[in-house]
Amino acid sequence: MATSDSDKKLVVTHIVSGDIWAGAEAQAFQLISGLQANGVIKPTAVVFNPGVLFDKLEALGIDVTLANESALSPLSQIKAICKHLREHSTDILHTHGFKENVLGTAARYLTGVKRSVLTVHGSPESQSTWRAPRKKLTHLLNSVMTGFCQDAVVAVSQHLKTVLEPRYPNKTVVIRNFIDTDEILTAPPEQPDDLRQLDTPYRITLVGRCVPVKRIDLFIDTIASLRNDHKLEVEGSICGDGPLLETMKQYANTKGVAKFIHFRGFVQDMEPEWASIDALVMPSDHEGLPMTLLEALLRKVPVVAHNAGGIPEVLDFGNSGVLVDNHSATGYADKLAQLIKQPEMARQLAANGQNHVKKEFSKRENVRKYEALYRAISQKKQRLTQNT
């Protein structure tokens, strides 16, 4: 018996960079895996780089194409995307990123895919200028294509929506980043505070790429301030790779704290690391809605973070973590010193954080919101009223 159009699953193809395993890649994987598990939407993917994301999607059994940006010209990448869209009879294109949006949208119109959606995972990490003409042109094309070609623009935080909605009115919706709260184990039993402090220094960690926006320098300055100004026995750990890694190692040396800061590079399995962390610090200049915070809070790791972007939403505006307004080493060191000296407060914030993530950032509910969005735009609804 032939299957009617109404019985067919919508096919949604995701275009993702995959050059590193960072927030956008982690969130795209959570969404794609959730869609596959629910079985309502059929997800496929085109990834621009080999690596963790591509391997994870393949292992999951997702139909994924590698349009390798290091080996292919942009035109050849568009051809590869077109081939994938035709072979999988894609109904909706879902892009994640600037270049991904530009090349994916071009392929969409070449193949006749009728609908598309863009998820904006955060603000640009740096302002583009004509000194880097290729990047500047990509940003301009992305903005134009988003305004004229996208059926919906997803902001991953309410704060990001306030930035995007004036640019893309009547098509911007909020679906916050999410995490599989059922899959991740809770943290192991805590040691008594007095025993832990006697045996080991207080362990403070930053998880993020070594790029300017993450402010690794500010983290290093904070560790120096805690040791020198507050006279606290602390050690720092930086989990992440990137172009500033060697520069930051040298910076730690000049600040006299190199032996107290461990540069871990990219950590494939973070689980043992989470179990060893006494506090997570996020001194980024700005963030969309960081997956790292969701990971930490779900494991009851106390958090101290910049009061900017989507961070306050994750920390429930201070009920689930410490927000820092004084964006300086002094500001972060003062808040951390308070947390170290008040372990009961740290435990309560961590418990609040775990409950908040389970309630507001669960994978099950937010995947359903994406499914509802796909159905809405596939039915050619011209005005989106979803405001979650």
* DSSP string for residues in 164-220: HTTTSTTTEEE----B-TTTSPPPPPPPPHHHHHHHS-EEEEEES-SSGGG-HHHHH
pLDDT tier at 380, thresholds 50, 70, 90? confident
Q: Which pLDDT score is estimated for 248?
A: 98
98 and 141 co-located in one domain: yes
* Span 284-301, average pLDDT: 94
pLDDT digits (tens, 9 = 90+) for 130-141: 566 666 777 788
150 and 241 co-located in one domain: no
199 and 347 co-located in one domain: yes
Higher pLDDT, 82 or 7: 82
- Domain extent at residue 163: 5-178+362-378
Q: Which pLDDT score is estimated for 267?
A: 92
Domain count, the chain: 2
CATH of the domain at 238: 3.40.50.2000
In a domain, 262, yes or no: yes
In a domain, 87, yes or no: yes
Q: For residue 193, is pLDDT > 50?
A: no
pLDDT digits (tens, 9 = 90+) for 34-50: 999 999 999 999 999 99
18 and 90 co-located in one domain: yes
50 and 169 co-located in one domain: yes
205 and 248 co-located in one domain: yes
Of the candidates 65, 42, 41, 40, the residue with the CA atom closest to the CA atom of residue 53: 65
Q: Where are the alpha helices (DSSP H) in the chain?
A: 23-38, 52-60, 74-87, 98-111, 133-149, 158-164, 193-199, 216-228, 245-254, 271-276, 291-298, 311-314, 329-341, 343-360, 363-378
* Joined tokens for residue 143: 């903005």
Contact indicator for 356, 319 with CB cutoff of 8 Å: yes
89 and 112 co-located in one domain: yes
325 and 290 co-located in one domain: yes
Q: Which pLDDT score is estimated for 384?
A: 52
174 and 275 co-located in one domain: no
167 and 215 co-located in one domain: no
56 and 117 co-located in one domain: yes
213 and 347 co-located in one domain: yes
pTM: 0.85
Q: Which pLDDT score is estimated for 293?
A: 96
In a domain, 281, yes or no: yes
In a domain, 383, yes or no: no
